[in-house]
Amino acid sequence: MEMRLEVNGTAHRLDLPERTLLVHALRDQLRLTGTHIGCDTSQCGACTVHLDGVAVKSCTMLAVQAEGRRITTIEGLAKDGALHPMQLAFHIHHGLQCGYCTPGMIMAGLDIVRRHPRPDLGTIRAELEGNLCRCTGYHNIIRAIAAGAEAMAAAATGERPGEGQGQ
Amino acid sequence: MHAFAYCRPAALADALRELAADAEARPLAGGQTLLPVMRARLAAPSRLVDLARVRELTGIAAAPGGLRLGAMETHAAIAEHPAVKRLAPALARLAGGIGDPQVRNRGTIGGSLANNDPAACYPAALLALGAAIETDRRTLAAEDFFTGLFATALAPGELVVAVQVPAAPAAAYVKFPQPASRFALVGAFVLRTEAGYRVAITGGGMGVFRWTEAEAALDSGATGADLAGVPLDPELFTGDLHASARYRRALARVAVARALADPAFAA
């Protein structure tokens, strides 16, 4: 069936079977391969994207269900070649080992900041329940999300991020 | 996943017509259970009727005596809604503990109720609270709605429209989550009203039930510490690779005792 998807601000018209999952439309049709398939059973969160700014698992959603909604993938975060503050925080704090879970962690991290603008470490741990890191590198992921949140708050208020944020 | 047809009606009447026209059609709510089940080829509906745009199924609002929650409201929306937090705070916290954030952003209360997973959280709350489930054709008391394992009183093609929840200041939910799925290994929802206590247990394995012996004991002045000696039917518990029936039954007593220790019961 024909469906229209808005991904990272660009409108696409695709002709796909009804049963096509959103993650497959993104990866196989639009070649946005930053969204990963980890467990394929809605456990691991590697496929996390934003739907109207809210984190969802794109392996547990049909592409056609995203019609009329704004989809944002990891590729949609950087602006004019500059990393998003959350991406930069993962880079600075080495919030990754093999990197496979990273796109999902960053998209989930942004959803945490949406709900908790300055989350403490306990909140981040609890809110990352839907994202698994098989390298078990959670400590730096959690630090990166906390630092990313600080950087986003600072950017929003025009402050410079504190020296202690690992800049 | 097997092939299927898809439609996305905007009105309840149209959704009901689509479901009535095809016995193999299934309604699609948040899809957090149905889509994985279809991917595992454990279900192969001929048609999915997506309820996402059916306007009659949305809305969270205070209603006489409590709340009315639209069937397509997500766990995240219920967890965060000021009226739910004010009038039924235990229900808001329960909703905020289902699955994980991404699942809560998609999964709906109507979908969860219609599925009636024996380890789901909402059935315990609705049974203890004495909630009512509005469908497109009638209103059912929670105790008449949940009929067994993955079984409800819904007729083929009948849709949950909304849930009516009484205000419940003195209530608490405690669950022991199964670590991988975050479903309840065992969960207990306890309500105290002027009429007495109501205790509902989910996760036992045979479907949600009220522990009436505990209710009677609590009404007679027993405390959480006294529950160890209160009869609890072993037939209501089953074992699987996550926990034995004996362990689940023991957890039920602990979950109720912990719920009773919630500050909500302090007043």
A142 vs chain B: nearest CA distance in angstroms?
Answer: 16
Query: Does any CB of chain A come closer than 8 Å to the CB of residue B32?
Result: yes
Q: What is the DSSP string of B181-249?
A: T-SEEEEEEEEEETTEEEEEEE-SBS--EE-HHHHHHHHTT--GGGGGGS---GGGB---SS--HHHHH
Q: Is pLDDT above 80 for A162?
A: no
Residues of A in contact with B101 (CB under 8 A): 55, 108, 111-112, 127, 129-130
Q: Express each pLDDT in A115-135 by its tens digit.
A: 999 999 999 999 999 999 999
Question: What is the pLDDT of chain A when averaged over all its residues?
Answer: 94
* List of domains in chain B: 5-50 (3.30.43.10), 55-166 (3.30.465.10), 171-265 (3.30.390.50)
> What is the signed CA dihedral for A49, A50, A51, A57, rounded to 10 degrees?
40
Q: Is pLDDT above 80 for A163?
A: no
Q: Is pLDDT above 50 for A165?
A: no
Query: Does any CB of chain A come closer than 8 Å to the CB of residue B105?
Result: yes
Query: Does any CB of chain A come closer than 8 Å to the CB of residue B182?
Result: yes
Q: Is pLDDT above 70 for A160?
A: no
CB atoms within 10 A of CB B169: 15
Domain ranges of chain A: 2-76, 85-165
Q: Any long-range contacts for B212-218 (C-beta under 8 Å, 24+ apart)? A: B214/B256, B218/B260
Residues of A in contact with B48 (CB under 8 A): 18, 62
Query: Does any CB of chain B come closer than 8 Å to the CB of residue A14?
Result: no
B4 vs chain A: nearest CA distance in angstroms?
Answer: 7
Domains A2-76 and A85-165 share a fold: no
Residues of B in contact with A108 (CB under 8 A): 101-102
Of the candidates A41, A63, A51, A11, the one whose C-alpha atom is nearest the C-alpha of residue B48 is A63
A163 vs chain B: nearest CA distance in angstroms?
Answer: 31
Ranges of beta strands (E only) in A21-165 are 48-51, 54-57, 70-72
Specify the pLDDT at position B197: 98
Q: How many helices (H) and strands (E) does chain B have?
A: 11, 14
Query: Does any CB of chain A come closer than 8 Å to the CB of residue B42?
Result: no
Q: Is pLDDT above 70 for A161?
A: no
* A2-76: CATH superfamily: Beta-grasp domain (3.10.20.30)
Residues (pLDDT < 50) of chain B are none
As a whole-number percent, the residues of chain A with pLDDT over 70 amount to: 95
Q: Is pLDDT above 90 for A164?
A: no
* A85-165: CATH superfamily: [2Fe-2S]-binding domain (1.10.150.120)
B83 vs chain A: nearest CA distance in angstroms?
Answer: 18
